[in-house]
Amino acid sequence: MRFLKKLILFTLLVLFAGAAVVGGRLIWQGYQIYKQVTGEESLSEKVAEIRSNPHYTTLDELPQTYKDAVVAVEDSRFYKHGGLDLISTGRAVVINLREGELAEGGSTITQQLAKNMYFTQEKKFLRKVAELFVAFDLERDYTKDEILELYLNTIYFGSGYYCVYDAAEGYFGKEPSQMTDYESTLLAGIPNAPSVYSLTNSPELAAQRQKTVLECMVQQDYITQEQADEILAEGKILPDGEIQQAGEE
């Protein structure tokens, strides 16, 4: 029995040591990718490039409902973590192990911004490691509001719209500052899966996603259930992706 315990302990130590070696190697390789991409174009240069877009939209030009909706549905602990949300990451690890692939990202808004700035959408582990190093740099050099602002100007909304300004103009025919609460919560749900929730491709799925956004906002006390119901009553998505405001025929 004593020999068996020693054998089990030895086996566990070997497994832990092997995992540490493999993990360390992957982190080092991811770090090298991070150094390469930021060496080719620095973080400050990337940020300046994003801000030079004539359609760049600042946070104060966006409805509060839209900003709250994005944080609620994309990264509820955005203003509390330092670029990595261990709770979301842990949940994603469990799902990925169960699925046997990178089915769940668990990425924070900061990590998603890092990906948009330097990397492809392909789910590769080394890319995720490199992305995390960029995220830490973003958290170090920029405020949370600056990170959120940059994120909203780099995410894809489907139908060829790559920033919040283009999405508001394309889907609603108006500037972001003019979006209603209904439009704001509808738009906030699209980037999770643009090809799925695009208003022009899947208006019914977009409407379902909007309900998820509102549920998140209620759960996190941004709005009450009564306010959520009132927002949903403000409009309706037509089969062609157009928005029919309440009271319109």
pTM: 0.85
Q: Assess whether pLDDT exceeds 60 at residue 167.
A: yes
Residue-wise pLDDT for 37-75, tens only, equals 999 999 999 999 999 999 999 999 999 999 999 999 999
Q: Assess whether pLDDT exceeds 60 at residue 15.
A: no
Give the residue-averaged pLDDT of 190-219: 95
Residue 132 φ/ψ, nearest 5 degrees: -65, -40
Residue labelled with tokens 């949300």 = 85
At 126 the pLDDT is: 82
At 154 the pLDDT is: 97
At 179 the pLDDT is: 97
Q: Assess whether pLDDT exceeds 50 at residue 202.
A: yes
SS (H, E, C) 169-209: HHHHCCCHHHCCHHHHHHHHCHHHCHHHHCCCCCHHHHHHH
At 105 the pLDDT is: 56
At 122 the pLDDT is: 64
User: Residue 248 — pLDDT band, cuts 50, 70, 90?
Assistant: low
- Rounded to the nearest integer, the mean pLDDT of the chain is 86
Give the residue-averaged pLDDT of 149-168: 97
Out of 12-16, 188-192, 233-237, which region has the weakest mean confidence (pLDDT)? 12-16
Q: Kindly report the CA angle at 196 between 193 and 201, in degrees rounded to 5? A: 135
User: Residue 4 — pLDDT band, cuts 50, 70, 90?
Assistant: very low
At 19 the pLDDT is: 42
At 27 the pLDDT is: 87
Specify the DSSP element, H or E, that contains 118: helix 109-118
Structure tokens at 47: 């940020």
Structure tokens at 128: 């995720």
Give the residue-averaged pLDDT of 185-191: 97
Max CA pair span of the chain = 81
Residue 214 CA from chain centroid, whole number: 17
Residue 119 CA from chain centroid, whole number: 14
Q: Assess whether pLDDT exceeds 60 at residue 99.
A: no
Q: Assess whether pLDDT exceeds 80 at residue 16.
A: no
Sign of CA dihedral 20, 117, 77, 202: negative
Q: Assess whether pLDDT exceeds 60 at residue 103.
A: no
Q: What is the DSSP string of 26-69?
A: HHHHHHHHHHHHHHHS-HHHHHHHHHTSTT---GGGS-HHHHHH
